[in-house]
Amino acid sequence: MVSKGAFYGAVVVLVALLLFTSSAALIYYNQYQQKASQNESYVSELDSALSRYRELATAYNSSLTDYNRTLSQLATAVANLNTTTPAYGNASAALASLWASYEKLADFGGRRALVYEVRMMVDFGNGTRRWYNDSSVQPGWSGYVATLVLLDGRLQAAWYPAGYFGPDTPGEHFVSGVDGVSQTATESWFVWQFGSGGWAQLPTGADGMEVVNGTTFAWTLCGYDQNFNPTCTP
């Protein structure tokens, strides 16, 4: 027979154990509640950050589109500006770096800029040839603008506006220097395009050359005959 004292003692010990475990449970429940609350706060912050990020990404893409349009307009302006004006000098020098910057920004945004891959060769007429392979240009650029950008603006030219050489003649550039090498009294710069029949001189000049994906073109410093036909080919 268990004594009264032992019975009460057992009850007291059991109650104490119950309270110990209850206290521990309350403590851990309290910690759980705090963590859950923190978690909700983090989730809320994350949602807010995600929302801001999406807004930023939208604004970024919009800016990139504007950038692209601006570049296109700048290229058009460079193609039609008088080469003697300061604006032409500034714009032609800036165009290449702006284009490179645009391509990088498009990459950062996780999307590839819509570009045409072209190849350009410069033949200096003394045995030196320089290739610009896998170069990218913006759709819509002429051969002149593409050359200007690939050479970082190192292109000397004179601008003849539309109608200068007669009625209905388009405006065009007379290129007198490429990549720092100027024409001479007996040699001049000619532009060529590579096609199915090999290299062909472009009668329209670089301004009339339509650059598309895969276009290969060349500049050569050549002598010429009395009809101003080049005496060399690339």
Partner 1 sequence: MAVVAVFTALVVGSDFALAPFLNFKLMDVLVFLAAFVFGFRQGASVAILSEGIWSVVSPWGPAGVVTPFLIAGELMFAVGGWAAAKVWGGELKPVSPTSVFIGATLAICAFVWDFETNAATALIANWPGLTVGEVAGYELAGFVFPVPLAHEVADFLLGSLVAPTALLIIPKLRRGA
Binding site for partner 1 (CB under 8 A): 4-6, 8-9, 12-13, 15-17, 19-20, 22-24, 26-27, 29-31, 33
Starting at the edge strand found earlier in the chain, the sheet holding 116-123 runs 129-137, 116-123, 216-223, 187-195, 198-201
From the CB of 54, what's the least distance to partner 1, in Å?
37
From the CB of 52, what's the least distance to partner 1, in Å?
33
From the CB of 16, what's the least distance to partner 1, in Å?
4
The b/e string for 105-138 (b: 16+ C-beta within 10 A; e otherwise) is: ebeeeeeebebbebbbbbbbeeeeeeebeeebbb
Kindly tell me the sign of the dihedral angle through the C-alpha atoms of 160, 165, 168, 169: negative
Considering the complex, state which of residue 24 and residue 59 has its C-beta at the smaller distance from partner 1: 24
From the CB of 39, what's the least distance to partner 1, in Å?
17
Considering the complex, state which of residue 31 and residue 39 has its C-beta at the smaller distance from partner 1: 31
Considering the complex, state which of residue 24 and residue 50 has its C-beta at the smaller distance from partner 1: 24
CB 187 within 8 A of CB 222: yes
Name the phi and psi angles at 222, rounded to 5.
-130, 160
Place of tokens 């080049």: 230
Within a 10 A sphere around the Cβ of 190, how many other Cβ atoms? Answer: 24
Considering the complex, state which of residue 18 and residue 50 has its C-beta at the smaller distance from partner 1: 18
**Which helix (DSSP H) or strand (DSSP E) does residue 119 occupy?**
strand 116-123
From the CB of 1, what's the least distance to partner 1, in Å?
15
Considering the complex, state which of residue 18 and residue 87 has its C-beta at the smaller distance from partner 1: 18
Joined together, the tokens standing for residue 116 give: 């045409």
From the CB of 30, what's the least distance to partner 1, in Å?
5
Considering the complex, state which of residue 12 and residue 114 has its C-beta at the smaller distance from partner 1: 12
